[in-house]
Amino acid sequence: MSRALVRIAIVAGEASGDLLASHLIAALRARLPQAEFYGIGGPKMQAQGFDAWYPLEKLAVRGYAEVLRHYREISGIRSQLRARLLADPPDVFIGVDAPDFNLALEKSLKRRGIPAVHYVSPSIWAWRGERIRKIGESVTRILALFPFEPALYEARGIPVSYVGHPLADVLPVEDGRVAARELLEISPTRPVFALLPGSRQSELQYMADTFIRTARQLSASLPEAFFLVPLATRETRLLFEQAIYRCEARDLPIRMLFGHAHDAMAAADVVLVASGTATLEAALLKRPMVIAYRMSSFSYRMMKRMGYLPYVGLPNVLAGRFVVPEFIQDDATPENLAQAMLNLHADRDNAARIGEVFRDIHLQLRQNTAEKAASAILDCLPAEVRAHAIAAA
């Protein structure tokens, strides 16, 4: 079998990385139709012709305690992948987020002359800022999603490109609440709350009961309230169903959806969301939200000790102030969450102000991201590989 003109190895470690990488693969394939893509990825990447050597779920672990429990397996996968890539080098390696896994791998590959691109800047502006030295040693180029990030790398002489966020390209700038309710066949006047307890099984284990008890309190105050719960996998759906039984909440008007997170958020008056990429999705959909997150006590102590910012949710980080409320760890109680959601639901003027802030963020992040990222990666290819591949396209 002849060698592909361009061989691109990619590692994505969670659902958000799968989405980012799938858009990138499509943009690269449009320019390099004979390129081969392989490594670690999820279903969206595979739908673009990606060859997944390991499933993405193997790396989808968050928090110090959780990582420690899976350390041996994750370390073994990285060692096997490193050996395989060094034995048969790709023309470029792209690590999509997952910095604790990817940076060490990128460093090994870069030392052997393989260009290593890291797509999504680690949150050095929020915590563990000392990582910037390790990043500089590990990468050929950083692709930054947020406009304040490039200056941090330029000050240290690390090549960086601001590419924006692909979700800002995909999601409409205008509010889609009416259309989403029509699609889901929900009355335009009914109080609707979307509950997004996380995409990882470990997040459901910490968040599901809290979210269901919050829904019960909301239902007591707003008897007409309706709840939408989009879940990414069969495993997370099962965990949420078990929590409903455990909390004796089978009487709540909850509709679980397989996927359809954007429809659920767009249809909602207020979103309750676990901190992460889903908070940005809710912001781009212009929805008022309450951000909540719980993790192991050990993980929380470690992260709090090394944090720099007073907020953790991306909407607040991007705005530079508290636009929406956050409740982390012990503060994430059903009572606190329900009251905050009721306040947002009742204050329509405040909801409109939040929507305007989110609209500004949306326009700032809309950069035709996949095309910009693809151009930056093409520039990292060895000159002769790039020339041959483009000539053959």
Residue 249 pLDDT class (50, 70, 90 cuts): confident
Residue range of the domain that includes 381:
7-164+367-392
Per-residue 3-state assignment (H helix, E strand, C coil) for the chain: CCCCCCEEEEEECCHHHHHHHHHHHHHHHHHCCCCEEEEEECHHHHCCCCEEEEEHHHHCCCCHHHHHHCHHHHHHHHHHHHHHHHHCCCCEEEEECCHHHHHHHHHHHHHCCCCEEEECCCCCCCECCCHHHHHHHHCCEEEECCCCCHHHHHCCCCCEEECCCHHHHHCCCCCCHHHHHHHHCCCCCCCEEEEECCCCHHHHHHHHHHHHHHHHHHHHHCCCCEEEEEECCHHHHHHHHHHHHHCCCCCCCEEEEECCHHHHHHHCCEEEEECCHHHHHHHHCCCCEEEEECCCHHHHHHHHHHECCCCCCHHHHHHCCCCCCEEEHHHCCHHHHHHHHHHHHHCHHHHHHHHHHHHHHHHHHCCCHHHHHHHHHHHHCCHHHHHHHHHHC
pLDDT band of 296, cuts 50, 70, 90: low
List pLDDT tens digits, range 339-371. 999 999 999 999 999 999 999 999 999 999 999
The predicted pLDDT at position 275 comes to: 74
In this structure, the answer to whether residues 155 and 253 fall within a common structural domain is: no
Q: Residue 232's pLDDT is what?
A: 80
Any idea what DSSP says for residue 127?
B
Distance CA 280, CA 265 (A): 11
What local confidence, expressed as pLDDT, does residue 107 receive? 95
Are residues 195 and 312 both part of a single domain? yes
Q: What share of the chain is helix, strand, coil (3-state, %, to 5)?
A: 55, 15, 30
Indicate whether 21 and 140 sit together in one domain: yes
- Beta-bridge mates of residue 289: 271
User: Hey, what are 330's tokens?
Assistant: 């012990």
- 247 part of a folded domain: yes
pLDDT in the model for residue 196: 93
- Condensed to tens digits (0 to 9), the pLDDT of residues 87-133 reads 999 999 999 988 888 999 999 999 999 999 999 998 887 667 788 89
Tell me: do 139 and 246 sit in the same domain: no
pLDDT at 193 > cutoff 80: yes
Question: pLDDT tier at 300 (50, 70, 90 boundaries)?
Answer: low
DSSP 276: S
In a domain, 258, yes or no: yes
> What value does the mean pLDDT of the chain take?
88
In a domain? residue 160: yes
Based on the domain organization, do 235 and 372 belong to the same domain?
no
Q: Does residue 79 sit in the same domain as residue 193? A: no
Judgement on whether residues 335 and 371 belong to the same structural domain of the protein: no
> Does residue 175 share a domain with residue 77?
no
pLDDT of residue 127: 65
Are residues 80 and 185 located together in one domain of the fold?
A: no
For range 82-89, the mean pLDDT: 95
Residue 203 lies in a domain: yes
151 and 178 share a domain? no
In a domain, 241, yes or no: yes
> For strand 270-274 and strand 254-258, is the pairing parallel, antiparallel, or unpaired?
unpaired
- Give Cβ neighbours of residue 265 (< 8 Å, ≥ 6 apart): 194, 196, 230, 271, 273, 278, 281, 282, 285, 287
Q: Are strands 92-96 and 289-293 parallel, antiparallel or unpaired?
A: unpaired
- Residue 327 and residue 197 share a domain: yes
Q: What percent of the chain has pLDDT over 70?
A: 89
Q: Where residue 21 sits, what CATH number does that domain have?
A: 3.40.50.2000
Asked if residue 212 is part of any domain, the answer here is: yes
- The answer to whether residue 1 is domain-embedded is no
d(CA 278, CA 129): 24
Q: How many domains in the chain?
A: 2
Tell whether 2 is covered by a domain. Answer: no
**Judgement on whether residues 154 and 186 belong to the same structural domain of the protein:** no
